[in-house]
């Protein structure tokens, strides 16, 4: 019998008997939510029919599968680039497992089993699983070191591989009920727990995720050692004595690995953005499951630092190409922005955990910003072209080493494409949550869900055309008339809040307000932590309607973000917009959006798989270099959702637009290439 799969390790407390602590808010089971949505369901179908098969095919053609076969035979030469290439198979198995719950597929399930068989044969008798060493222990990958674990702190990724194995095993077990991959993972986890811990080997994992994976295995098994080891790895950070604390180089001072000081003392997001957000996700897990107040204070403080000083307007994380890392506070350059797709994915995992800790809509607001903008921008509408980094602007005559002006089919380091395969089909697990008899509605996705309130089933049917339309309808049907609370998230953008800080604000006022009715009658409600709380005795077929204002909003940045001064970004609903060359006479960097510009929204069903575009007549600058003149003429300008850019070829793209001619970087069009290091 298939068991339910939750996004991001969110099984109910009953999974582990007598579990003393857990998140105060619990997710509604993944398989309890069936989508009919016009925005997400097609993406999930493309993921199932295109992205996952393409990912598996590339794992075959690039030698990732062959590495496991050679490891089983103890013969050959590791044939891919990185020692963490094993994880691309694990992540795609995880995504395929989620997808099997949405779209049963015997052929896919059989193929997954064949891969799991190869993974199992590559595992060493004591549970060790790392093809970069097992193929030829005498000549391991040069990142691996001569013996197990000796380079785990900085290069080997042995525990990173284990973490993705655990995540995949968790998903596969709950999606299919099979234990073939789970048994491999448990055998490896038992080895890891026997090697690392107090009185054993001490190391802070170089690339975090094993901590999250161990927590998932703890939830399945109730084995305390898994949770204890996850906590041990977190508490090991900041204890290595070989760093130079006086150095500003993040590799030398430990900040690149979030290893510069104990996690409980950290208050700022630093270092490699993906590693960081995976760590912070695990810190939230361990804080929830152990009641560790110091870890809770740390992760709360770091989250606040990110949303107040280190996040891009479209939800991107990791501003600096060198090290794929967070910059200093307010260091958010547009020309060289990095914004790795994996960082947005990790940000979704982290923000959902923060919501489960606190039940506050601000975390879901940030999650929504990432999900609808800087995350799905990472995958093309065809389902098989990708961005590793997500640019904030593309200008003619300017490039740098890490800039990606067009999508790629694959990367030597293919973490982002395979990460997308596992995130997209997990979205149903983020829609609803519960705390006692309070039901949270977090995402607006058409479909139906069934959950238990007071031990009795309650059905909720969502109908909407989100994110294009703010009219939301919920039909609530308890099995028997019952009193409980429905908490509907009123997004920050609908409450005049661009982000839960003053990093970005709206410069204009909304023309309309939120309205709520039940069975056609306006209803009074209170707002708690960003949720409209509707407490009543519900009967079968009650219809709740929520109308969110979908005005086009102007976003401005804090004066501390130097690159964005004198500029404005556009937002409608949860979507950030950009201008792209294809809609604007081959250019985008010459567009002004003055304060008096009025944009109209218009849905174009035949454009980019159907999008709402924004249009206005605004000044456009023309530079005649030969005559050395600059002229400004008003033209109709079109903006598209940021996520949809670069699906029509290579050309200019802009998110932030100058409001005045004096703020246009006309000379900058001819600037020298800036260095960037990936």
Q: Is 79 a catalytic residue?
A: no
Q: Is the dihedral of CA 227, 230, 236, 242 positive or negative?
A: positive
Rounded to 5 degrees, φ, ψ at 419 are -65, -40
Q: Classify 149 in phi/psi space as left (phi over 0), alpha (psi -120 to 50) or beta.
A: left
Beta partners for 249? Answer: none
Token readout for 460 is 């909720």
490: nearest Cα among 420, 549, 446: 549
Q: Is the peptide bond before 467 cis (omega within 30 degrees of 0)?
A: yes
**Residue 460 · residue 479 · CB < 8 Å:** no
Q: What percentage of the chain's residues is helix, strand, coil (to nearest 5)?
A: 35, 20, 40
625: Cβ contacts below 8 Å, ≥ 6 apart: none
Three-state DSSP class for residue 80: coil
Tell me which of 94, 167, 324, 612 is the catalytic residue.
Answer: 324
Q: Which positions ≥6 away from 414 have C-beta within 8 Å?
A: 58, 62, 85, 88
Containing 457, the helix (H) or strand (E) segment is strand 456-463
**Distance spanning both ends of the chain, measured CA to CA:** 46
For residues 274 and 318, is the Cβ–Cβ distance under 8 A? yes
* One-character DSSP codes across 148-207: TTTTTTTT--HHHHHHHHHHHHHHHHHHH---HHHHHHHHHHHHHHHHBSTTSB----SS
Which DSSP letter does residue 36 get? -
Are 659 and 383 in contact by the 8 Å Cβ rule? The answer is: no
Residue holding tokens 């104990």?
262
Task: Classify 366 as helix, strand or coil.
Answer: helix
369 phi, psi to nearest 5 deg: -60, -45
Helices (H), 370-436: 415-423
What whole-number distance in Å separates Cα of residue 444 and Cα of residue 466?
7
CB contact set of 328 (below 8 Å; sequence gap of 6+): none
Who's near 610: CB < 8 A, 6+ residues apart?
Answer: 603, 604
Interstrand relation of 447-453 and 456-463 (parallel, antiparallel or unpaired)? antiparallel
59, 342, 415, 416: the catalytic one is: 415
* Alpha helices for 428-583 (secondary structure H): none
DSSP 491-516: -GGGGT-SSSSSSEEESS--SS--EE
Pairing of strands 438-441, 447-453: unpaired
- 331 exposed, middle or buried (CB, 10 Å; 0-12, 13-18, 19+)? middle
Burial class (CB in 10 A: 0-12, 13-18, 19+), 632: middle
324 catalytic per annotation: yes
Dihedral angle computed from the Cα positions of residues 390, 274, 433 and 19, in that order, rounded to the nearest 10 degrees: 170
- List, in sequence order, every residue forming a beta bridge with 522; answer none if it has no partner: 517
Contact 335/673 with Cβ under 8 angstroms?
no
Answer yes or no: are the C-beta atoms of 534 and 544 closer than 8 Å: yes
Active-site residue numbers? 324, 415
């Amino acid at each position: 019998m298939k068991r339910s799969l939750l996004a991001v390790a969110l099984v109910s407390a009953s999974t582990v008997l007598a579990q003393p602590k857990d998140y105060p808010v619990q997710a509604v089971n993944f398989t309890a939510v069936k989508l009919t949505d016009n925005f997400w369901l097609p993406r999930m179908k493309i993921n199932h029919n295109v992205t996952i098969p393409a990912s598996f095919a590339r794992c075959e053609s690039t030698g990732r599968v062959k590495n496991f076969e050679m490891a089983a035979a103890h013969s050959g030469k590791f044939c891919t680039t990185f020692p963490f290439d094993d994880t691309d198979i694990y992540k795609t198995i995880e995504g395929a497992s989620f997808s099997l719950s949405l779209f049963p597929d015997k052929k896919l399930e059989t193929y997954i089993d064949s891969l799991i068989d190869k993974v199992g044969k590559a595992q060493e008798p004591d549970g060790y699983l790392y093809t970069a060493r097992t193929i030829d222990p005498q000549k391991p990958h040069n990142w691996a070191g001569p013996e197990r674990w000796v380079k785990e702190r900085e290069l080997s990724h042995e525990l990173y591989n284990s973490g993705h194995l655990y995540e995949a095993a968790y998903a596969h077990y709950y999606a299919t009920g099979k234990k073939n991959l789970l048994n491999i993972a448990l055998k490896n986890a038992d080895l890891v727990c026997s090697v690392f811990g107090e009185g054993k080997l001490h190391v802070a994992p170089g690339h975090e995720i094993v901590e999250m994976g161990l927590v998932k295995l703890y939830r399945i098994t109730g084995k305390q050692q898994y949770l204890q080891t996850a906590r041990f790895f977190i508490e090991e950070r900041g204890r290595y004595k070989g760093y130079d604390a006086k150095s500003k180089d993040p590799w030398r001072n430990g900040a690149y690995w979030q290893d510069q000081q104990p996690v409980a003392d950290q208050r700022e997001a630093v270092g490699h953005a993906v590693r960081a957000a995976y760590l912070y996700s695990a810190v939230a897990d361990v804080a929830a499951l152990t009641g560790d107040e110091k870890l809770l204070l740390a992760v709360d403080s770091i989250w606040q630092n990110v949303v107040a000083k280190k996040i891009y307007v479209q939800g991107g994380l990791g501003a600096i190409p060198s090290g794929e890392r967070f910059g200093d506070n307010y260091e958010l350059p547009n020309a060289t922005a990095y914004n790795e797709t994996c960082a947005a994915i990790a940000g979704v995992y982290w923000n959902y955990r923060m919501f489960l800790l606190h039940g506050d809509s601000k975390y879901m607001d940030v999650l929504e910003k990432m999900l609808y903008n800087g995350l799905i921008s990472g995958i093309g509408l065809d389902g098989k072209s990708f961005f590793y980094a997500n640019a904030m602007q593309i200008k003619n005559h300017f490039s740098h080493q890490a800039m990606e002006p067009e999508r790629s089919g694959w990367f030597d380091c293919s973490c982002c494409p395979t990460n997308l395969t596992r995130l997209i089909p997990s979205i149903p697990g983020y829609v609803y949550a519960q705390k006692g008899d309070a039901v949270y509605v977090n995402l607006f996705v058409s479909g139906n869900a069934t959950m238990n309130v007071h031990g009795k089933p309650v059905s909720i049917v969502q109908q909407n055309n989100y994110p294009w339309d703010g009219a939301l309808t919920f039909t609530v049907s308890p099995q028997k008339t019952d009193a409980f609370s429905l908490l509907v998230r009123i997004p920050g953008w609908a409450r005049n809040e661009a982000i839960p800080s003053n990093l970005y604000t709206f410069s204009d006022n909304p023309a309309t307000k939120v309205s709520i009715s039940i069975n056609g009658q306006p209803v009074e409600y209170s707002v708690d932590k960003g949720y409209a709380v509707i407490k009543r005795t519900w009967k079968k077929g009650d219809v709740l309607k929520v109308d969110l204002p979908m005005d086009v909003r102007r976003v401005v940045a804090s004066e501390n973000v130097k690159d964005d001064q004198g500029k404005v970004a556009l937002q409608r609903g949860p979507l950030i917009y950009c201008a792209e060359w294809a809609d604007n006479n081959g250019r985008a960097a010459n567009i002004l959006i003055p304060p008096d510009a009025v944009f109209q929204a218009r849905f174009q069903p035949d454009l980019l798989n159907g999008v709402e575009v924004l249009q206005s007549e605004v000044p456009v600058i023309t530079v005649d270099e030969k005559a050395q003149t600059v002229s400004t003429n008003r033209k109709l300008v079109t903006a598209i959702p940021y996520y949809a850019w670069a699906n029509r070829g290579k050309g200019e793209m802009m998110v932030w637009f100058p409001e005045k001619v004096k703020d246009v970087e006309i000379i900058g069009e001819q600037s020298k290439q800036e260095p960037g290091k990936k």
